[in-house]
């Protein structure tokens, strides 16, 4: 069964350092999402792509976060510089349609020290 | 911002019992979805119910939707220890970018 791939699974970094996460969605899924999930909370959407275009990045802290999906397939989320408050699980998901069932990857657990 | 609010925040039951979780939301929706998350893992889609539907079933899962009360419930029948997880409702709202907005979740523990 096709799955959403994410790497790395775990990342520990010092504050003020740069960090990057990678996501490979299920083949053929045009919509890709990046979520941040703080412990004990539900996922919060950071950015949504339709193919290579950003559909929604209203909750993305653009002073330090950036996301790209250059060829409309895999995607990278970057944080520079990382802050202590960025410690969270970063989840990637993909779907056929913008408001349909979403398929999630295993996530990247980020710890900023 | 979180649109859905699940209730209760935590639920502990014995194997074989039924588990009911509720979700309330604030604005008109296109659909409402339920997801499960095992500890430290990604989310798994369980069921999607559209705004013009009132009830859906999938295996041991039953979801109801009451748009007049802006609420939904997820019933898991004959629970198993493997059902232990956090359960989230997520709404796709009308008129926006059709993104999903998740609630804070219900943590379900099924004791063997």
The C-alpha of B42 sits at a distance from chain A's nearest C-alpha, in angstroms, of 4
Residue closest to B97 by CA, chosen among B30, B47, B23: B30
Q: What is the pLDDT of residue B97?
A: 59
Q: Which residues of A touch B (CB under 8 A)?
A: 4, 33, 40-45, 48, 55-56, 89, 91, 93, 98-107, 109
Which of A33, A39, A46 has the alpha carbon at shortest distance from A4?
A33
Instruction: Give whole-number Cα distances, A78 to A7, A43, A52, A95, A105, in Å.
Output: 13, 18, 16, 22, 17
For B39-67, the pLDDT digits (tens) are 888 999 999 999 999 999 999 999 999 99
Q: What is the pLDDT of residue B110?
A: 98
Chain A and chain B share a number of CB contacts under 8 A equal to 63
Contact indicator for A48, B101 with CB cutoff of 8 Å: no
Give me the pLDDT at residue A103, please: 94
Q: DSSP class of residue B83?
A: G
Selecting from B43, B44, B97 the residue whose C-beta is nearest the C-beta of A43 gives B43
User: Which tens digits make up the pLDDT trace of A49-108?
Assistant: 999 999 999 999 999 999 999 888 999 999 999 999 999 999 999 998 766 899 999 999
Give pLDDT tens digits for B1-12: 556 788 899 999
Kindly indicate the confidence band of residue A39, based on its pLDDT and cuts at 50, 70 and 90: very high
When scoring A7, A99, A103 by the number of chain B Cβ atoms within 10 A, the one with the most, hence best to mutate, is A99
Cβ-defined contact of A91 to B100 (cutoff 8 Å): no
Q: Do B30 and B52 meet the contact criterion of CB atoms below 8 Å apart? A: no
Q: For chain A, say whether B45 makes contact (Cβ under 8 Å).
A: yes
């Amino acid at each position: 069964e096709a799955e959403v791939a994410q790497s790395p699974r775990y990342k520990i970094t010092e504050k003020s350092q740069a960090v990057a996460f990678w996501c490979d969605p299920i083949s053929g899924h045009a919509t890709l999402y990046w979520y941040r999930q703080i412990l004990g909370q539900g996922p919060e959407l950071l950015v949504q792509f339709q193919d290579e275009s950003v559909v929604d990045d209203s909750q993305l802290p653009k002073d330090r976060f950036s996301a790209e999906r250059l060829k409309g397939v895999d995607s990278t989320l970057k944080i520079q510089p990382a802050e202590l408050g960025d410690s969270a699980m970063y989840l990637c998901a993909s779907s056929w349609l913008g408001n349909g069932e979403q398929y999630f990857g295993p996530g990247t657990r980020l710890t900023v020290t | 911002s979180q649109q859905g609010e699940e209730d209760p925040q935590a639920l502990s039951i014995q194997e074989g019992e039924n588990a009911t979780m509720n979700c309330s939301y604030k604005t008109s929706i296109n659909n409402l979805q339920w997801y499960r998350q095992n500890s430290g893992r990604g989310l798994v889609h369980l069921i999607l119910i559209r705004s013009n539907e009132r009830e859906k079933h999938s295996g041991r899962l039953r979801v109801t939707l009451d748009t007049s009360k802006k609420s939904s419930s997820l019933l898991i029948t004959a629970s198993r220890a493997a059902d232990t997880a956090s359960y989230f409702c997520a709404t796709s709202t009308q008129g926006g970018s059709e993104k999903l907005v998740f609630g804070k979740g219900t943590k379900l523990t099924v004791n063997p």
